[in-house]
Amino acid sequence: MELKDIKAEEGSIKALILEDADNEVSYIKDVAEQGCQDGGCSGLVYYNDTHNFYNQRAEEIDELVKTLNEEMGYDIAENMKRLGQTDIRNFLSWLAYEVNAQEIMRELED
């Protein structure tokens, strides 16, 4: 499968990543493997960015967190605290972006 063949619902995080990637698989691969920390995710560098991202996509992010909690068998918010993360909107924005990038990479590998 090629990047142009990946389908995403308009306005979704997945669609945003595909747009941010500008047809560059290397961008998505970097996000999927290295995450958003250290400025690796387009438009999610500052707290203001991640807070706006979360506020605009809270429903999608909360649904993803619920699914991940069920699949992994523990509470992501509690794990976040254990890891010393103090800004939940920042953490969950990065998590959602990274998980969606990983999903795109899995689709490309299939």
| Residue-wise pLDDT tens digits, 81-93 | 788 878 889 999 9
Q: Residue 82 has what pLDDT? A: 81
* Cα separation, 42 vs 36, whole angstroms: 8
Burial class (CB in 10 A: 0-12, 13-18, 19+), 4: exposed
**Structure-token pair, residue 12:** 């979704």
| Residue-wise pLDDT tens digits, 41-90 | 989 999 999 999 999 999 999 999 999 999 988 888 788 878 887 888 99
Q: Residue 102 has what pLDDT? A: 97
Q: Residue 77 has what pLDDT? A: 79
Alpha carbon distances (Å) from 3 to 73, 96, 97, 109: 32, 19, 17, 10
